[in-house]
């Protein structure tokens, strides 16, 4: 019984660590993308010296490039363990409960009960996203092909209303996923007392809203520019 308990905690710890890594990446990624919105207001959208262009050049630095395989591994681990843990929880509870949690707040949370569904939505549209940007930018850099213009990629991608809608649905799913995942991550490492639990839920909502609001602003701005 003790071994099973520690094994369960170990699985959740792996989820927490990989999730923290991805939150940091999303903060960096959304900030750099938001530079394109700032460029619009400064009149530098599409310019070679625009903030967004410089941000993309920063992401192309060797020290950042070597992080791509690590990031991919983090995604794989987080997704694989998320599906595995959800499957175990469904089997253990004898029903289609989406996510196991012993806290009242988690039990009452729609996101907590549907983390697997949200994760599947995030994963599905992530594949769609990679074909638009990663394949045209970093993959091109790896293969020696000509890299796409980041501003043109934004307008070409988000210039279609149905693509914009798909991305907004994706950002909404990411928001729900982050709102629960943020405080759950800290709960896993022991920050689950009543005082910090309430604060972490608020901080999680703020962080999730900030990240997703920047992504939505980028998408809508690119649609308008197109």
The number of helix segments (H) and strand segments (E) in the chain equals 11, 0
Report the predicted TM-score, pTM, of the whole model to 2 decimal places.
Answer: 0.78
Helical ranges in 67-160 per DSSP H: 67-93, 104-107, 110-113, 115-132, 138-143, 150-158
Q: Which residue has tokens 């594949």?
A: 127
- 102 pLDDT band, cuts 50/70/90, is very low
**Choice between 25 and 143, residue whose per-residue pLDDT is larger:** 25
Which residue's entry shows tokens 């910090």? Answer: 196
Rg of the chain taking only CA atoms, in angstroms: 19
As a whole number, mean pLDDT of residues 189-216 equals: 82
Per residue in 126-168, pLDDT (tens digit) is: 777 777 666 556 655 555 555 668 898 889 889 999 999 999 9
- Of 41-45, 63-67, 162-166, the one with minimum mean pLDDT is 63-67
Q: Is 43 helix (H, G, I), strand (E, B) or coil?
A: coil
Most confidently predicted of 4-18, 131-145, 185-199: 185-199
Give dist(CA 45, CA 43) in Å, integer. 6
Report how far apart the first and last C-alpha atoms of the chain are (Å, whole number). 59
Find tokens 């549209």 and name the residue: 125
Q: In this predicted model, which residue has the larger pLDDT, 57 or 160?
A: 160
Residue where the block lists tokens 């591994």: 73
Which has the closest alpha carbon to 26: 171, 138, 221, 180? 171
The pLDDT tens digits of the residues spanning 89-101 come to: 666 665 554 444 4
Answer yes or no: is pLDDT of 180 > 50: yes
Is the model's pLDDT at 215 over the cut of 50? Answer: yes
Q: Is 200:186 a contact under the CB 8 Å cutoff?
A: yes
Mean pLDDT of the chain: 76
pLDDT at residue 220 is higher than 90: yes
Average pLDDT of span 51-57: 88
223 or 69, higher pLDDT:
223
Place of tokens 């003790």: 2
Q: Could you give the dihedral angle defined by the CA atoms of residues 218, 220, 223 and 224, in that order, rounded to the nearest 10 degrees?
A: -110
Q: Domains of the chain, with CATH numbers? A: 2-225 (1.20.1300)
pLDDT at 164: 93
Question: What is the rounded distance in angstroms from the CA atom of residue 123 to the CA atom of residue 219?
Answer: 19
Share of residues in the chain with pLDDT > 90 (%): 20
């Amino acid at each position: 019984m003790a071994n099973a308990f520690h094994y369960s905690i170990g699985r959740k710890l792996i989820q927490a660590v990989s999730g923290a890594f991805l939150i940091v990446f999303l903060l960096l990624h959304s900030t750099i993308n938001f530079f394109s919105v700032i460029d619009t207001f400064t009149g530098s959208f599409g310019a070679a010296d625009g903030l967004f262009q410089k941000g993309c050049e920063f992401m192309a630095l060797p020290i950042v490039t070597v992080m791509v395989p690590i990031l991919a591994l983090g995604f794989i681990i987080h997704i694989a363990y998320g599906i595995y843990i959800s499957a175990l929880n469904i089997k253990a509870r004898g029903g289609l409960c989406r996510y196991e949690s012993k806290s009242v707040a988690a039990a009452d949370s729609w996101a907590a009960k549907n983390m697997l569904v949200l994760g599947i939505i995030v994963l599905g549209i992530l594949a769609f996203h990679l074909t638009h940007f990663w394949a045209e930018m970093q993959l091109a850099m790896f293969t020696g092909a000509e890299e796409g213009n980041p501003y043109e990629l934004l307008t070409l991608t988000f210039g279609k209303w149905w693509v914009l809608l798909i991305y907004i649905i994706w950002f909404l799913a990411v928001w729900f996923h982050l709102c629960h995942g943020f405080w759950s991550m800290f709960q896993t490492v022991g920050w689950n007392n009543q005082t910090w639990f309430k604060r972490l839920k608020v901080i999680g909502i703020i962080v999730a809203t900030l990240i997703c609001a920047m992504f939505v602003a980028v998408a809508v701005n690119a649609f308008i520019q197109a």
